[in-house]
Structure 1
Amino acid sequence: MKKDRGDFRLRKDISQKRYVISAIVTFVVIFAAWTLLCLSGSVKELFLPSPAKVVKDIVDSAMDGSLWVNMGYSIFRITMGFIISTLIGVPLGILAGSFRPLEAVIAPICEFIRYMPVPAFVPLVMVWCGIGEGAKITIVFLGCFFQMVLMIADDARSVSDDLLSSSYTLGTTRWTTITKVLIPAMAPKMMLTLRMMIGWGWTYLTVAELVASSSGLGYSILKAQRFLHTESIFSGILVIGILGLITDRLFAFAIKKMFPWAE
């Protein structure tokens, strides 16, 4: 049997330096291809503006202040929606993953609702909450909450039964086992789940701002579409992507610092 050789062996690690360089080169290649495609004239600028024009639009909106205002609204909405869904969803997920009777109550309804398209709830949310900040926060909450409950429950179930049995053997109570054994054991996976959820939150926030808003990054994209300002559409998408990437990196940094043994 031949052995795998080189860097493409399954799950073989590479150096951090090489990883970063590879990521940077990938972005450079994509933007270079984008620039060459625009310079070739094979695609009209209305459909695909050049990277330089998109960057200029970002700089202009930053200079006139509109970028910071829209970013502020979007960051506030996703932060509030995510925090509320976490404060409610994490405890429910832990309970569903720890106690079968509670799982029978919590999991089926979450499984049912999570397949309902969140954008379809936008008209109802507007009726229930109006068109203020509560509506956008509610959309983010709906997009994250039900998925979060089920994934946190899976994280709780992933903790070894032997570990829990050992704690009972040492004389811990049910509550102490949950707080001192179960939650610390599942914490690294739980943080990874929250890291994934914040990414979905950005998606649902954009949906909310595209449909029912007069501010925010999603609204700026919709306004640009009305006037065929394609470069503003691209700049809005890029800014959302950058903010999402920053959020993801913050979670990754926090996980690394909080749970170094999980590496």
Structure 2
Amino acid sequence: MSPLFTPLKPVAPALRTVLGIACFVLFFLGWGIATYGGFVKPLFLASPGDTLTAGIALFREFGFAEDIAVTVWRVFAGFAMAAALAVPLGILMGAFKPVEAFFEAFVSFARYLPASAFIPLLILWAGVGELQKVLVIFIGSVFQLVIMVTVIVSGIRSDLVEAAYTLGAKRDGVVLRVLLPAASPQIFEALRLVLGWAWTYVIVAELVGASRGIGHMIIDAQRFLDTGQMIFGIFVIGVIGLITDLLFRALNARLFPWAKGR
């Protein structure tokens, strides 16, 4: 076993898959023992079977597919708005120190503000419609992403920039032909991570004034103490997040093959 735990030594893809599946198996095994063994009352934690039954009922009787579609749209709309602003701004801040000096203090201040605290203001400004929910996700994502992109771009090796100037590159060429290609794989990775954070804000966004969505369903289930429906809704978010995470990883490897193994 000791060779497997060599620091920073890569794991074979097949072994990685097996270990990942084993973790899920142990999780469901522990969940089943806790519920079917009577250690936890159903009022507090539904069993895996009851959760699956509740999920099937959600799709058949309550149109849960529409709730999923609405929530996915909200997350990706807010995330797309955040990425459209944060990525260019982060690149400029990382590449040009005066731009960083101008924005850094404000962005560092704003990223500590909880997105949920803006909900009363957003309701006042945008009502309780879709825009309010998308803006909650936008606020929760944009400032974190700006900082991450800035750190990535500013961390590009200086010798690459110096070599470009030596070969006759101009300022725009250095940004477009050196900094961007070098930073793009990590920026894509930052987008993957922040998308995960965006999913954590959607439930908060759907707490107020929502008539559809996964968060709305979870709150309704809470009123009836239906832990099966609540757990199923949480699992659906996790499954969607896992799928998008895997897609981001595959797309990153395909778009930026030069970064493989970094």
Deviations 1:124-169 (A, max 9, x none): 1111111110001101100110011111001101111111121122
Partner of 2:192: 195
Asked whether the equivalents of residues 85 and 141 of structure 1 are also in contact (C-alpha less than 8 Å), the reply is yes
| CA–CA separation in structure 2 for the residues paired with 1:210 and 1:247 | 24
In the alignment, does 2:201 pair up with 1:204?
A: yes
SS at match of 2:26: helix
Number of the residue aligned with 1:262: 259
1:94-173 aligned within 5 A: 94-173=91-170
Match of 1:69 among 66, 71, 75: 66
Matched, 1:181 2:183: no
Corresponding residue SS for 2:107: helix
1:45 paired residue number = 42
The question of whether the paired residues in 2 share the 8 Å contact of 1:210 and 1:221 is answered with no
| SS of structure 2 residue aligned to 1:6 | helix
1:227 counterpart residue number: 224
**Maintained 8 Å contact 1:97/1:103:** yes
Residue correspondences, number: 260
C-alpha displacement at 1:6, in angstroms?
Answer: 2.5
Counterpart-to-counterpart distance in 1, 2:76 and 2:10: 34
Q: 1:238 aligns with which of 220, 235, 257?
A: 235
Opposite residue 42 of structure 1, the aligned amino acid is: F
Deviation at 1:215, TM superposition (A): 1.2
Distance 1:113 1:149 in 2: 11
Which residue number corresponds to residue 54 of structure 2?
A: 57
Counterpart amino acid of 2:87? V
Which of these residues, 77, 93, 99, is aligned with residue 80 of structure 1?
77
Matched, 1:7 2:4: yes
Distance (whole Å) between structure 1 residues aligned to residue 204 and residue 244 of structure 2: 19
Shift of 1:5: 3.8
Percentage identity across aligned positions?
A: 38
Mind listing any 5+ residue stretches in structure 2 that lack a counterpart? none
**Aligned partner letter, 1:100:** K
- Residue ranges of structure 1 left out of the alignment (5+ in a row): none
Tell me if structure 2 keeps the 8 A contact 1:126–1:135: yes
State the shift of 1:100 in Å.
1.2
Partner letter of residue 38 of structure 2? G
Task: State the 1:95 CA deviation.
Answer: 0.6
Report the residue type matching 1:121 in the other structure: F
SS in 2 for 1:115: coil
CA distance in 1, matches of 2:199, 2:11: 30
> Normalised by the size of structure 2, how large is the TM-score?
0.96
Q: Distance in 2 between matches of 1:63 and 1:227?
A: 19
Letter in 2 for 1:254: L
In 1, Cα distance between the equivalents of 2:11 and 2:62?
42
2:244 aligns with 247
SS at match of 2:4: coil
Aligned-partner Cα distance in 2 for 1:9–1:153: 32
User: Do the aligned partners of 2:58 and 2:229 also contact (CA within 8 Å) in 1?
Assistant: no
Moved over 4 A (4+): none
Structure 2 partner of 1:218: 215
Q: Cα 1:182–1:104, aligned 2, differ >3 Å: closer, same or farther?
A: same
